[in-house]
Chain A
Amino acid sequence: MSTVTKVQKPTITPKKKKGFFQSLGKQWQLMIMSVPMLLYVLLFNYGPLWGWLTAFQDYQPKKGLAGSAWVGLDNFRFLFGREDFRLAIRNTLAMSVINLVLGTVSAVLLAVLLNEVRNRTFKRTVQTVTYLPHFLSMVIVVSMAQNIFASNGPINQMLLSLGLVKDPVFFLGKGEYFWWLVGVINVWKEVGWNTIIYIAAMTSIDPCLYEAASIDGAGRFQRILHVTLPGIKSTFMVLLIMNIGHLMEAGFEIQYLLRSGLTMKYSDTIDVFALIYSFGSSKPHYSYGTAAGMFKSIVGIILLFGANKIAQALDEDTLI
């Protein structure tokens, strides 16, 4: 192959060996296609990093970055001195872990069940239906959740008619339920979508393994246990490690939309905290919000690098 191209284009090969700028000049079309987007990413992804400076300032929008007073680590001292920020860290980690565990277990379980379905039409129907909530906006989902979990909503009516509770449960107004409510809503929204990658991994399992297991006398559950689950192990590990790297990302959309004054001790993640401190009062405190976000990002970077190191140590595929 390579010899053929060399014969056909004898001028290309020697020119490649010339200087960096010469080949760059030859590749001006590729540059047109990529450099604008490089600049775009530098502006929109790296540009905001300048804003981290405001975490060390008493930032006043009118004075700008240059005119605002420097306060050192005062903003961080203020944050860690506040109970609601410590609660926000706790809530972020708690909801992340709940989402991770519930999300992974439910997705693997559903993928295994779907993998056992022989009727293609039925399998496709289940998949189409369970993918649906992934495409709904969080606003719609929270709106639905408010109807479903209302004190006169269907869940409470079911619980009452089954005699499991005497009075309607106040799902939306009790902080203790909030983490689990978020976990359940997230599972409902994403379980189908999360199976896609596991099912892709399962289809790459060699069918001979199932046949061999059957001949050796393995029943259905043994086949699942000894063929299917080992077959998705590496996918599972990669996703798990990646998710551990994202433990600080508990999201804020669902919490922000679902929260109320009654649940704020349990609902506010670091992002919600940053949002409320920055925009909640009439006088914006951007510095507190920036400092909170910066703390989150730095812990996130450490977690992500740590997770990558674990992945390398376990000899799984590196994540990037």
Chain B
Amino acid sequence: MTTANVQVKKSKKRKDIAFPIVNTIILCLLMFITLFPVLNTVAYSFNDGMDAVKGGITIWPRVFSTDAYTELLTDSAVYQAFWISLTKTVITTLTNLFFTSMLAYALSRKEYVLRKFITTVLVLTMYVNAGLIPNYLLISTTLKLKNTYWVYIIPTMFSCFNMIVIRTYILGLPEALVESARIDGAGDLRAFFQIILPLCLPVMATVALFVAVGAWNSWFDTYLYNGSKKNLYTLQYLLRMKLATTQNSSNAASSTADALASSSKVAPITVRSAISVVSAVPILIVYPFLQKYFVTGMALGSVKG
């Protein structure tokens, strides 16, 4: 009897050790699979162009070279695109945060008489989506934003999902905060800017990350509205043009107006990888520091939203 018990215990113990080991191996493998394409791109970007065309590079450059980066850093179009991407991201993030959080506050006030009406209007936007072409016609034909810098800012000033995230956070704050501000004679504007907004910093960090990443990563707005304005190209759009070049390599020279590719003695694949790295680095530096915030923000927004 006792020996049987010991044997059961032993096998149980072995199972308890076996599972964490297998689990750790699986998760390490997953991390490798996640990181491999990223490291592969970095390796390509630091590889000699003629050699890279042969393929077969894994996570370390075979013939080290910084030609692709030299090529990028001597091209004024890249600086211009970086500048557009950067300013667009900063302005979009600030305006979006400002308007979204203000509306979130207004809709968190239970005594507000328009609360129900505005909430319904916003919720219905989840159902009603006119589609790509009507949106294009509105922005280009009606509002005449095509070929302007404003097309990067104005259509992205508000987002419903982020509003819900911020509102949920504000509703979690003690009601007495606003009440006492009122007693002291502060209106809603002051109560929001001086009391609620400073307390919302964690959720604002989350939303700022979402908005900034969206703005930095978008290429389609440039493609649709500013495809003929070279001075309004963004980094992502430059990359997308490189991508189109490699896809249709047969008619590459004619199909793209991209000066980078035609004048280049380095291979498109290394330049493409280098632009990927340059445009990914800013985000990869920022996001791990905000991880704690966005995880809570995501959970809040999706569970209660």
Contacts and interface: CB of A to CB of B under 8 A. Distances in A.
B133 A290 contact: yes
Given A44-B138, A130-B30, A144 B37 contact: yes
Interface residues of A, number: 100
A144 B38 contact: yes
A133 interface: yes
A196 B105 contact: no
Contact size range, B: 35 or more
A230 interface: no
Contacts of A129: 31, 34-35
A289 B224 CA distance: 14
Contacts of B247: 146, 260
A42 B184 CA distance: 36
A289 B38 contact: no
A53 B16 CA distance: 65
B2 interface: no
B122 A137 contact: no
Interface stretch (B17-25, B70-78, B253-261): B17-25
A30 B129 contact: no
A311 interface: no
A47 interface: yes
Contact of A297 (B37, B38, B128, B280): B128
A27 B112 contact: yes
A54 interface: yes
Interface string B106-121: 1101011110001001
Interface stretch (A78-86, A90-98, A152-160, A205-213): A152-160
Contacts of A131: 287, 291
B153 interface: no
B189 A29 contact: yes
Contact of A114 (B16, B27, B37, B44): B27
Contacts of B35: 129, 132
B56 A157 contact: yes
What is the interface of chain A mostly: helix, strand, loop, or mixed?
helix
B19 A220 contact: yes
A168 to B, nearest CB: 10
Contact of B246 (A31, A146, A289, A305): A146
Contacts of A61: 141
A69 interface: no
Contact of B128 (A5, A290, A301): A301
Interface string A100-142: 0000000000100110111000100111111111011111101
Kindly name the residue among B37, B272, B295 whose own CB sees the greatest number of chain A CB atoms within 10 A.
Answer: B37
Kindly name the residue among B41, B121, B132, B303 whose own CB sees the greatest number of chain A CB atoms within 10 A.
Answer: B132
A34 B107 contact: yes
What is the interface of chain B mostly: helix, strand, loop, or mixed?
helix
Contacts of B220: 253
Contacts of A32: 189
Interface in B83-113: 99-100, 102-103, 105-107, 109, 111-113
A308 to B, nearest CB: 10
Interface of A: 5, 8-9, 16, 20, 23-24, 27, 29-38, 40-52, 54, 61, 64, 110, 113-114, 116-118, 122, 125-133, 135-140, 142-148, 150, 152-154, 157, 188, 192-193, 196-197, 200-201, 219-220, 235, 252-253, 257, 260, 271, 274-275, 278-279, 286, 289-290, 292-294, 296-297, 300-301, 304-305, 320
Interface of B: 12, 15-16, 19-20, 23-24, 26-27, 30-31, 33-38, 40-41, 44, 54-56, 58, 99-100, 102-103, 105-107, 109, 111-114, 118, 121-123, 125-138, 141-142, 155, 157-158, 160, 179, 182-183, 187-189, 192, 213, 216-220, 224, 236, 239-240, 242-243, 246-248, 269, 272-273, 276, 279-280, 283-284, 287-288, 291, 295, 298-299, 302-303
Given A145-B37, A146-B247, A289-B131, 18 more contacts: A37-B158, A41-B122, A44-B158, A48-B135, A51-B137, A51-B138, A128-B288, A129-B35, A132-B34, A135-B217, A137-B216, A137-B217, A143-B242, A146-B246, A147-B269, A152-B55, A188-B33, A293-B132
